[in-house]
Amino acid sequence: MWKTAVFLFAMLCVLTALSIVLSSLFLYPQGSGWWQVARNHNQTSCSRHDLLGRVKIPTLSAAHSSISITEASFGLLHGGGFSPPNCKSEYKVAIIIPLRNRESQLRTLLSHMHPIWKRQLIEYRVYVINQIDGELFNRGKLLNAGVSEASKDEQYDCFVFHDVDLLLENDQCMYLCDTEHPLHLSMYIDIFGYKKLDYSVQCSFNGKDMRNNRIMSFGGVSMATHTQYVLSNGYSNIYWGWGAEDDDFYIRIKNANYSVVNPYGRKCSYSMIKHKRDVGNPPNPARFYALRNAHKRRTKDGYNSVKYQVISKELLLLYTSVTVDIGKPSNELLNFMRNCETKTCPVNIPLE
Ligand code: UD2
Ligand code: MN
């Protein structure tokens, strides 16, 4: 009796071993052992068969319907993150959205973009960086704070800097960084008649004219790897109010010896949600002066010097919400800005 039991047990062991060897030979042929199966499942690079090409831009009410919010949140991790279940994404991407008082646009953006990002099979998480009320808006400083806060959660190797009002029109425009160069995705926008934005021609970095009547903007949606961001020293912190912080970032990138690329061309076209200039974000009168001197400040003022306080951090269904106090411009800087508005800008711009 016990002999039969031992025999059956031995047979079971042999059969199990055999099935493991065979499955590792046929199912996982690249020399991987069965013990690596769980890991290898996730090591496969992602094939993006489910992309649709052009996508419909939602109306406001459609974007805010419970169907579209449910679709957007489906399969997301708490805090607005996603990891493709069957393959490995090339980068860990943090999508950073600077925000103040534009919650309705945020809902439209995320209900439109989450399904696209999921189809793109990228590993990502959305961080919304809210500036507390009251002072002049500062997009650059918020983005620096965003990179710093996201980096406390994970070792992200790719960062997207995303305006809240830009809706992508084609899901083949991939939100993946390039190790060689930073990317600018939002070069074709409906409100500019899809005229290609220009920043690369005749940009002189020694303080001469840099605009030459072109629609010049490096804002909207841009991307950098962690290394590119650190070597460029991120955004300048001194642009309070509207304008030029994006072009300053471009100058930093060029000074760090990178170019800017857009591998997807016109596929990366966007619709901008209609909006007026916000209260608390008037055009910064010192912006052109600051831009002309951007190359001089870039090592002292930027990601390496950003100061802010985290007021709260919440993991919500569609995003991680980080509210920060980024302070306000010093009296010296405010005086400088006033001078630029009324007279000419004084020579040295304060760095706080
Ligand atoms: C352009 C740039 C933008 C930025 C800005 C100058 C493009 C497509 N966009 O946008 O990236 O460089 O010029 O500063 O070139 N925001 C709030 N609340 C506010 C103010 C701003 O949430 O009170 C955020 C929001 O994410 C918004 C972004 O900042 O999308 C840029 O502000 P904007 O949309 O008013 O500026 P716009 O469209 O001229
Ligand atoms: Mn806008």
**Percent of the chain, pLDDT > 70?**
83
Pick the residue whose CA is nearest to atom 27 on ligand 1.
Answer: 163
pLDDT band at 64 (very low <50, low <70, confident <90, very high): confident
Residue 208 has pLDDT above 60, yes or no: no
194-220: average pLDDT: 62
Is the pLDDT reported for residue 159 higher than 90?
A: yes
Q: What is the mean pLDDT of residues 186-191?
A: 94
Task: Report pLDDT for 200.
Answer: 54
pLDDT value for 331: 95
Q: From CA 33, how far away is CA 17, in angstroms rounded?
A: 12
pLDDT band per the 50, 70, 90 thresholds, residue 87: very high
pTM for this predicted structure: 0.87
Atom index in ligand 1 nearest the CA of residue 186 equals 8
Query: How do residues 316-342 score in pLDDT, each as one tens digit?
Result: 999 999 999 999 999 999 999 999 988
Q: Is 140 in the pocket of ligand 1 (CB under 6 A)?
A: no
Confidence of residue 59 (pLDDT cuts 50, 70, 90): confident
247 Cβ below 6 A of ligand 1: no
List the domain boundaries for the chain. Answer: 26-342
| Atom 15 (ligand 1) nearest CA | 219
38 or 115: whose pLDDT is higher? 115
- CA 350 to chain CA mean position, Å: 29
Ligand 1 touching residue 162 (CB < 6 A): no
pLDDT at 113: 97
* pLDDT value, residue 215: 64
Ligand 1 near 164 CB (within 6 A) = yes
**Is the pLDDT reported for residue 171 higher than 90?**
yes
CATH class of 26-342: alpha beta
Q: What is the mean pLDDT of residues 26-45?
A: 46
For ligand 1, is residue 139 a contact (CB within 6 Å)? yes
Residue nearest ligand 1's atom 9 by CA = 220
Taking the CA of residue 201 as centre, how many other CA atoms within 13 Å lie in the half-sphere pointing to its CB?
9
Q: Whose CA is nearest to atom 6 of ligand 1?
A: 243
Q: Is 103 a catalytic residue?
A: no
pLDDT computed for residue 53 by the predictor = 97
Please tell me the predicted confidence (pLDDT) of residue 334. Answer: 95
Residue 343: what pLDDT?
82
Ligand 1 centroid vs 125 CA: distance in angstroms?
21
What does the pLDDT look like over 228-269, one tens digit per residue?
A: 999 999 999 999 999 999 999 999 999 999 999 999 999 999
What is the average pLDDT across 109-134?
A: 96
Q: Which ligand is nearest to the CA of 215?
A: 1
Can you give the pLDDT at residue 133? 78
Per-residue pLDDT averaged across 210-227, rounded? 80
Which atom belonging to ligand 1 lies closest to the Cα atom of 162? 26
Going by pLDDT thresholds of 50, 70 and 90, the confidence category of residue 185 is very high
Mean pLDDT of 129-137: 91
Average pLDDT over residues 263-292: 93
Average pLDDT, the chain: 87
Query: What pLDDT score does 210 carry?
Result: 47
Question: Which of 139, 184, 269, 321 gets mutated to test ligand 1 (max ligand atoms within 8 A of its CB)?
Answer: 139
Q: Distances in Å between the alpha carbon of 343 and those of 242, 286, 352?
A: 20, 11, 21
